[in-house]
Amino acid sequence: MRSVSIIGCGLTKFGEHWEMSFRELIAEAGVKAIESANIEGKTIQAIYGGCMASGRLIGQEHIGALIADQFGLNPIPATRVEAACASGGVALRSGILAVLSGAYDIVAVGGVEKMTEVSTEHASFALGGAGDQETELFHGATFPSLYALMARRHMEEFGTTEEQMAACAVKNHKNACNNPNAQFQRAITIEDVMNSGYVASPLKLLDCSPITDGAATLILCETEKAKKLCENPVEIIASTQASDSLALTGRKSLTEMAATKIAAKEAFEKAKLQAKDIDFAEVHDCFTIAEILATEDIGFFKKGEGGKAVEKGKTSLDGEIPINPSGGLKAKGHPVGATGVAQAIETFLQLRGEAEKRQVKDAKIGLTHNVGGSGATAVVHIYKAIGGKR
């Protein structure tokens, strides 16, 4: 059977790029990826680009065509993929399926968002489109308030504390201090989080991921060909996706994300692995409670134990299951269309032993988890270092 591997990557610094345009962000990440893979642009047979809200944020649609045009790669097919904050992860899955099908041998997968050229209110409204506009956004329920509902229910059912959520932010900022592409490369304390002011109780400012500009690109290749082109490709051994109700009102529970549970279960089955076999994970921590939910729903911890686990250091870089060594969305940044691709890039670097001061020791198997909206879309990928354990 055909398999797919990553042979190159490119990432811009995440942050507020007042001096760079949307096109320039795409160009920087793409050029870096092509150079990293040591290939020529003309060898790329198709492009899949994740982008959530460029129409609302910068007035530009038809992003697939823009990317192909920007790189001089016409007439190859270029497709924009949109799945809210999971756009990058679904773009990656689209590229994987295209190679697995035999349609192509080499494809580029990208993600991009330029979010800081509009007001916070405008950006929040654009992001609100990832939820149910009729039952949520139009009634004032923005994403901080939706995730605050989940957090409050988790606290009520399992005794999770605001300090445990704050510990997620502290850990991720600590990791981001060693990530040169992270938006926030500074340490914070529990006290900093607790004193940062409520956005939607119990979530405070430092429980929330930032508004970010950035772009990310991966080069995918059929694995046997990848081994000839690259000394140490990283194989993708599972790619799964699941859906849930768009609005929270359609969920059976506010303390779990069913789409995450289903996608993770299917991914482990495809990879013939269990949660205990994963050496590290990049999970979707748009809010600190989201990281706790993810670690439980993926299966790293029992339901209700995620908060205690981070408090005890189990998810730290030297813990039993390092979570978000990149700094996560919280500190690395969250340019929504690029996030899922950036997670895969961190995994690629970790499995090649190229993550420098944030390197997870003896990393052989990694997992990424990308969520759209409040959990209506979930994408899970599992990766292994070629020659690694399986």
Active site residues: 85, 334
d(CA 118, CA 49): 22
* Segment (H or E) for 346: helix 339-351
User: Residue 320 has what DSSP assignment?
Assistant: S
Tokens of 30: 């793409």
Cα distance between residue 76 and residue 65, in whole Å: 10
CB contact at 8 A, 375 and 296:
no
Residues 6 or more apart whose CB falls under 8 angstroms from that of 156 comprise none
Question: CB neighbours of 291 closer than 8 A, spacing ≥ 6?
Answer: 168, 172, 283, 284, 285, 306, 310, 323, 324, 328, 330
DSSP state, residue 357: G
What is the rounded CA–CA span in Å between residue 140 and residue 102? Answer: 46
How far is the C-alpha of 88 from the C-alpha of 344, rounded, in Å? 9
Concatenated DSSP letters of 133-174: TTTTGGGT--HHHHHHHHHHHHHHHH---HHHHHHHHHHHHH
- Total residue count of the chain as it appears in this document: 390
Do the bridges between strand 4-11 and strand 234-243 make them parallel or antiparallel, or are there none, so unpaired?
antiparallel
CA 388 distance to own-chain centroid: 23
Q: Which strands sit side by side in the sheet containing 106-113, from one edge to the other?
A: 78-81, 46-50, 106-113, 214-222, 4-11, 234-243, 377-385, 365-372, 280-282
Q: How far is 75 from 18, CA to CA, in rounded Å?
A: 31
